[in-house]
Amino acid sequence: MTQQAYMTETDNGGSGPERPGSRLRRLAHRLAGGWRGDPRIWRRGLVLAALALLLGLVMLLHSRIPNRVGNLGSLTETFLPWLGLAVPLLLVLGLLRRSATALVAVLLPAVAWLNLFGGLLTDRSGGGGDLMVATHNVNADNPDPAATARDVAASGADVLALEELPASAVPVYEKALATTYKYHAVVGTVGLWSRYPMAGVEAVDIKLGWKRAMRATVTTPKGPVAVYVAHLPSVRVKLKAGFTARQRDKSADALGEAIADETLERVVLLGDLNGTMNDRSLNAVTSQLRSTQGAAGSGFGFSWPASFPMARIDQIMVKGVQPQSSWTLPRTNSDHLPVAARVKV
């Protein structure tokens, strides 16, 4: 077999095989040639620079965006992590435009995004934990509730919360989970299943007129834990009304009041809050409790919609216990992903 080396001129005027490194240097030199000595690099791309600065300011000052008009602040905060996708786009456009001004301006949103979410890019989960909890919005229109119940039970959770339980499907869930969980209670459209004894089961009034939240004391081997299950009202994005979240916000305030009145030191909140940890309207809850995903998760842990998760609106939050790990479970027949966590009581 004949080997033939591609020959090119070398720096000393001779010829020889071209090295990969020399090809990269020639490419970089060619690109840089379009920048050197061009005074327009600072005058081009001013619109791109303005967009980059605006994006950075939105990230840095998102809490100042008012909610008075269509709950624009909460809507921005719900999808705040996704604004980071604009950073590489602006970077590429700045390079194509050969605009030094745009490239410098892109630093602001890049640094702002890393400051807000850079910590979520690392794996913060650890080993251990003596209590595994999980929560799942099972979807009222679930075509196979028994299969969904078996799927979440297979996760190994010691305490399992289910939301959006239609009355007609409750017996199906009870039957499917009976062999795994000795104790359970259903209040309205939410339910709690536990391997450990439960007491003090009661509805939590979240100002809806029907029951979508509950509280129970679960006596774990390490001591009692107050477990709350909540399904806050849904939100919608409408063209004229904007982000319709007023009822959810009212319920979040009521849930926060109930948690503030809790007498036990150890508290776990499981449920579909229809909002993210960044949403200021959930402050009555998020100011008191710690997110297991933020403390001990890996990545963003988006849970909705299940087909293409874009936001983490299903939450596990704690007080008085230490998060050890947090993750999403495999998809079921629901439009939400189940989420789970291990905590040290």
Find the range with the poorest average confidence among 31-40, 202-211, 230-239, 260-269.
31-40
Distance between first and last Cα of the chain: 70
In this structure, are residues 87 and 113 in contact, taking their beta carbons and an 8 Å threshold?
yes
Confidence of residue 12 (pLDDT cuts 50, 70, 90): very low
Residues 207 and 284 in one domain: yes
Asked, for residue 22, whether it belongs to a domain, the answer is no
Confidence of residue 124 (pLDDT cuts 50, 70, 90): confident
Find the range with the poorest average confidence among 34-43, 197-206, 315-324.
34-43
Asked, for residue 5, whether it belongs to a domain, the answer is no
Asked, for residue 100, whether it belongs to a domain, the answer is yes
SS3 assignment, position 270: strand
* Domain final residue, candidates 121, 147, 172: 121
Residue-wise pLDDT for 131-143, tens only, equals 999 999 999 999 9
Asked, for residue 17, whether it belongs to a domain, the answer is no
In this structure, are residues 326 and 340 in contact, taking their beta carbons and an 8 Å threshold?
yes
Residues 113 and 158 in one domain: no
Residues 325 and 185 in one domain: yes
Domain count across the chain: 2
pLDDT score at 63? 93
51/246 Cα distance (integer angstroms): 31
183/259 Cα distance (integer angstroms): 23
Domain that holds residue 49: 37-121
Residue-wise pLDDT for 289-338, tens only, equals 999 999 999 899 999 999 999 999 999 999 999 999 999 999 999 999 99
Asked, for residue 56, whether it belongs to a domain, the answer is yes
Residue-wise pLDDT for 240-255, tens only, equals 555 768 899 999 999 9
Q: What mean pLDDT value characterizes the chain? A: 90
Find the range with the poorest average confidence among 13-22, 180-189, 217-226.
13-22
Residues 238 and 340 in one domain: yes
Residue-wise pLDDT for 50-67, tens only, equals 999 999 999 999 999 998
Mean pLDDT of 16-40: 61
Residues 117 and 157 in one domain: no
Confidence of residue 6 (pLDDT cuts 50, 70, 90): very low
Mean pLDDT of 181-203: 98
* Domain final residue, candidates 121, 156, 180: 121
Mean pLDDT of 266-284: 96
Where is pLDDT greater, at 341 or 18? 341
91/127 Cα distance (integer angstroms): 39
Residues 98 and 140 in one domain: no
* Domain final residue, candidates 96, 121, 146: 121
Q: Among 251, 222, 216, 219, which residue's Cα sits nearest to residue 235?
A: 251
Asked, for residue 6, whether it belongs to a domain, the answer is no
Asked, for residue 145, whether it belongs to a domain, the answer is yes
Where is pLDDT greater, at 162 or 298? 162
Residue 45 reports pLDDT greater than 90: yes
Mean pLDDT of 14-36: 58
Residues 197 and 246 in one domain: yes
Residue 10 reports pLDDT greater than 50: no
Residues 226 and 326 in one domain: yes
pTM for the whole structure: 0.86
Residue-wise pLDDT for 138-157, tens only, equals 999 999 999 999 999 999 99
Q: Among 259, 159, 152, 265, which residue's Cα sits nearest to residue 218?
A: 159
- Domain CATH code at residue 184: 3.60.10.10
Asked, for residue 98, whether it belongs to a domain, the answer is yes
Residues 175 and 257 in one domain: yes
Retrieve residue 317's tokens: 């939050």
Where is pLDDT greater, at 208 or 14? 208
Where is pLDDT greater, at 18 or 159? 159
Residues 82 and 150 in one domain: no
Q: Residue 123 CB: number of other CB atoms within 10 A?
A: 11
Residues 83 and 144 in one domain: no
Residues 111 and 165 in one domain: no
